[in-house]
Amino acid sequence: MAGTGQYAEILDGDVYKYYSEGEWKKSSSGKSVAIINPTTRTTQYKVQACTQAEVNKAMETAKTAQKSWAKTPLWKRAELLHKAAAILKEHKAPIAECLVKEIAKPAKDSVTEVVRSGDLVSYCAEEGVRILGEGKFLVSDSFPGNERTKYCLTSKIPLGVVLAIPPFNYPVNLAVSKIAPALIAGNSIVLKPPTQGAVAALHMVHCFHLAGFPKGLISCITGKGSEIGDFLTMHPGVNCISFTGGDTGIAISKKAGMVPLQMELGGKDACIVLEDADLDLVAANIIKGGFSYSGQRCTAVKVVLVMESVADALVDKVKAKVAKLTVGPPEKDCDITPVVSESSANYIEGLVKDAEQKEATFCQEYRREGNLIWPLLLDNVRPDMRIAWEEPFGPVLPVIRISSVEEGIHHCNASNFGLQGCIFTRDINKAMLISDAMETGTVQINSAPARGPDHFPFQGIKDSGIGSQGITNSINMMTKVKTTVINLPVPSYTMG
Ligand code: NAP
């Protein structure tokens, strides 16, 4: 059970403690932040509202701890990460329990998130020992005008303190996707978990605590992003920011100083369906891509662009599958569960009402109870409707009928977002041409967009992000190249 047994040390009365200097602490603010259960809409947990002084302390100790961590042999860093991964998997039940209660993620998916996170940490440890164990050796005589008098040795060095800010929808997985690469590369970590998902994140951090990482190397600062976010992101002690979330990331990018940024932001992933597509495959992927975790995924299918000639057939198939989706509480493993907050539900409703006013075709009746919104497919959506462009982050999916592939590509590229997209066709040549024309970080051919497997590069263009994630890319991003040049008095040619 969350908060009990060995987890009891992370709880003070009914408020979860924050983690700094290798210890579980109560904030001197005397204030807490409530976490509302999206299903019951009552307070489920409370976390400490950390102060600026507590952030300063975490930054200071992260800086000190990083110096000795960077001198810890790579294989030892990997060993500790493997240990943390094993503990994380062992403790999947209490962590998943928090995900169910804090973010209403279906029970099975919650367990999957924790197990996937353990796998990510292990993979990262393995990848790190390989790619950080190698450097480059360059010689000067390849550049015009030079003799072979300079030998250049390159290696990858840590950046220092990495600030990690994940979003509510994968508070464990998107936290470890930042923590593990940072640590294997010799950095320290200050984690600011999302408020919804903070308790799952604290239980995850406890697994790293049990693994025995040095004190101060990992901190977890809780509090509302709107209150301590700016202080954290503009803190002079931060050497790198890895953020996943919505438009907040654009504001952070404008405020952050001279530090490398990894930004994974929103998306409006388009699903382009050609006339020759396997419509059963498309319908199955629209359901999986559009409605998993009630559409609250950055890579959810967020607009279907289907050729008019096959639109009726596709919409019928999707409608039949929507009718089979179960709707209800996450504890019962329903397909559609309450969205994360009342404001999120209100936002989704605003998009639905706008589409209704502008006469989109409702394939189901719109239904909402509290934060629970029944799955809804909106057909005949036009570009003048908000849902054609905005990210609902809920179980509502617009279908736009197109008369040419160019029209579909144009709609995809006119979006401010450019995270992923997908194409369904049996013609690989057409698929390649369309993929090249789509301005998105990734295009999936004959499958719904997806972030995983976690070692694949993952990136967005335009307002969808800066840089690239995926295990290897994140390790590289959290390092800097350092070179040492040996200058010889005379040219030296090997075996020459
Ligand atoms: P969000 O509102 O942007 O919040 C993300 C994180 O930022 C949370 O930890 C939040 O903390 C924190 N935060 C809020 N204000 C801040 C500030 N001023 N400074 C620093 N941090 C601040 O996003 P969300 O609602 O959690 O997640 C949904 C969004 O994330 C969607 O747009 C989705 O597409 C995107 N997303 C993108 C990816 C990707 O990889 N591209 C993956 C998943 C989700 P609090 O919770 O305390 O406010």
Q: What is the pLDDT of residues 178-203, one digit of tens each?
A: 999 999 999 999 999 999 999 999 99
Q: What is the C-alpha to C-alpha distance for residues 454 and 9, in angstroms, rounded to an integer? A: 32
The single-letter DSSP state of residue 323 is H
Query: Which residues, other chains included, contact 324 with Cβ-Cβ below 8 Å and sequence gap of 6+?
Result: none
> Is 248 touching ligand 1 by the criterion CB < 6 Å?
yes
> Is 424 touching ligand 1 by the criterion CB < 6 Å?
no
**What does the pLDDT read at residue 372?**
98
Q: Report the sign of the C-alpha dihedral through residues 374, 378, 384, 387, in that order.
A: positive
Mean pLDDT of 157-170: 98
Query: Which residues, other chains included, contact 204 with Cβ-Cβ below 8 Å and sequence gap of 6+?
Result: 88, 95, 114, 117, 172, 175, 176
Q: Which of 98, 298, 334, 412 is catalytic?
A: 298
**What does the pLDDT read at residue 494?**
80
pLDDT of 330-374, one tens digit each? 999 999 999 999 999 999 999 999 999 999 999 999 999 999 999
Q: Which of 102, 264, 390, 391 is catalytic?
A: 264
Q: Are 162 and 189 in contact (CB under 8 A)?
A: yes
Cα 71 to ligand 1 centroid, rounded to whole Å: 33
Tokens coding 272: 């382009």
Query: Which residues, other chains included, contact 1 with Cβ-Cβ below 8 Å and sequence gap of 6+?
Result: 7, 94, 97
Ligand 1 probe mutation, 33, 292, 298, most atoms within 8 A of CB = 298
- Residue nearest atom 19 of ligand 1, based on CA coordinates: 229
């959810």: which residue's tokens?
A: 300
> Is 165 touching ligand 1 by the criterion CB < 6 Å?
yes
Question: Does residue 55 surpass a pLDDT of 80?
Answer: yes
> Is 171 touching ligand 1 by the criterion CB < 6 Å?
no
> Is 195 touching ligand 1 by the criterion CB < 6 Å?
yes
Ligand 1 probe mutation, 48, 105, 168, 477, most atoms within 8 A of CB = 168
Question: Does residue 452 surpass a pLDDT of 90?
Answer: no
> Is 161 touching ligand 1 by the criterion CB < 6 Å?
no
Mean pLDDT of 21-50: 98
Tokens coding 291: 């409605």
Question: Whole-number mean pLDDT of the chain?
Answer: 97
The burial class, CB within 10 Å (0-12 / 13-18 / 19+), for 336 is: buried
Q: Is 271 a catalytic residue?
A: no
Cα 450 to ligand 1 centroid, rounded to whole Å: 18
Cα 244 to ligand 1 centroid, rounded to whole Å: 6
Which atom of ligand 1 lies nearest, measured to the CA of 165?
Answer: 9
> Is 385 touching ligand 1 by the criterion CB < 6 Å?
no
Q: Is 220 a catalytic residue?
A: no
Mean pLDDT of 443-470: 97
Tokens coding 99: 């995900």
Q: Is the peptide bond before 453 cis (omega within 30 degrees of 0)?
A: yes
pLDDT of 198-257, one tens digit each? 999 999 999 999 999 999 999 999 999 999 999 999 999 999 999 999 999 999 999 999
Cα 193 to ligand 1 centroid, rounded to whole Å: 9
Mean pLDDT of 139-155: 97
Which atom of ligand 1 lies nearest, measured to the CA of 465?
Answer: 41
Q: What is the C-alpha to C-alpha distance for residues 183 and 5, in angstroms, rounded to an integer? A: 28
Q: Are 399 and 307 in contact (CB under 8 A)?
A: no
Phi, psi of 454 (to 5 degrees): -65, -10
**What does the pLDDT read at residue 348?**
98
Which atom of ligand 1 lies nearest, measured to the CA of 170?
Answer: 43
Which atom of ligand 1 lies nearest, measured to the CA of 248?
Answer: 3
The burial class, CB within 10 Å (0-12 / 13-18 / 19+), for 144 is: exposed
Q: What is the C-alpha to C-alpha distance for residues 77 and 308, in angstroms, rounded to an integer? A: 55
Quickly state the pLDDT bin for 260 (edges 50, 70, 90): very high
Q: What is the C-alpha to C-alpha distance for residues 40 and 42, in angstroms, rounded to an integer? A: 5
The single-letter DSSP state of residue 190 is E
* Type of residue at 460: G
Question: Does residue 150 surpass a pLDDT of 90?
Answer: yes
**What does the pLDDT read at residue 237?**
98
Ligand 1 probe mutation, 16, 165, 339, 389, most atoms within 8 A of CB = 165
Quickly state the pLDDT bin for 496 (edges 50, 70, 90): low
> Is 421 touching ligand 1 by the criterion CB < 6 Å?
no
Q: Which segments of 292-361 does DSSP mark as H helices, in order? A: 308-323, 342-357
Strand-strand pairing, 261-264 and 240-244: parallel
Considering the chain, what percentage of its residues have pLDDT values greater than 90? Answer: 97
Which atom of ligand 1 lies nearest, measured to the CA of 197?
Answer: 46
Q: Report the sign of the C-alpha dihedral through residues 390, 392, 393, 397, in that order.
A: negative
* Type of residue at 39: T
Cα 278 to ligand 1 centroid, rounded to whole Å: 36
Mean pLDDT of 7-24: 96
**What does the pLDDT read at residue 211?**
98
